[in-house]
Amino acid sequence: MAFRYIAALSIGLLGSLSAGQCRADVYVYTDAQGVAHFSNVPADTRYRLLIASPASGTASAASGKVGNWLAKSSIYDSIIETAAAANTVQPALIRALIVVESGFNPRAVSKRGAVGLMQLLPETARRYGVADSYDPGQNIRAGVHYLGDLLTLFDSNTELALAAYNAGEGAVARYGKHIPPFKETLQYVPSVLKVYRALMAKERAAEPG
């Protein structure tokens, strides 16, 4: 919904994740305005590894940095897992959406008035009975409920559900159930998917052989 915390992710990473050819490392840095920038090609010295591809030779060396980032989100694990189960949404997709929406900052506020971890707009908060959008529990439960409803509405099409989360379900419907041609939305959907796929790859790598 909000786009304050995402600048751009290389489009090339989406293809490499789908084809399974190149490394799927994800790097991040936060600029002076508090905007998080994600990339698979860290051309700036400020980038730090966020998620290492299981196939990456740097995965072990970077595990401490990844662990530090995950520790930031771990305090919300029980809320995320419960909300995910209640709405049949992958926990990794929720985490990826929160990374892009707010960088796991529960006090985040966008210039459009979206609030909290999942950047709920006031009307969305009212729709899902949220009294305090800054409260992580209320925010995540409502955001995941909304995301789950969007997945149901768009027949489990993750791309369309994410596009609707960003631009509104009405916009997706107006464009014939395609991703609306809005610059923000066209960046937002692959950005969330890149982080989601990297998290899923990390989970699969951690599973016992």
Q: Does an H or E element contain 37, and which?
A: strand 36-39
Active centre residues (catalytic): 101
Task: Give the helix ranges, DSSP H, for the chain.
Answer: 11-19, 59-74, 77-87, 91-102, 122-127, 136-153, 158-167, 169-174, 183-206
- Give tens-digit pLDDT for 147-196: 999 999 999 999 999 999 999 999 999 999 999 999 999 989 998 998 89
- Could you tell me the pTM of the whole model? 0.72
Match 């993750």 to its residue by tokens: 158
Structural domains in the chain, CATH included, are 66-206 (1.10.530.10)
Collect all residues with Cβ–Cβ distance below 8 Å to 31 and sequence separation of at least 6. 7, 37, 46
Whole-angstrom distance, CA of residue 163 vs CA of residue 90: 17
- Give tens-digit pLDDT for 106-148: 998 988 899 999 999 999 999 999 999 999 999 999 999 999 9
DSSP 91: H
CB 39 within 8 A of CB 8: yes
Collapsed DSSP state (helix, strand, coil) of residue 188: helix
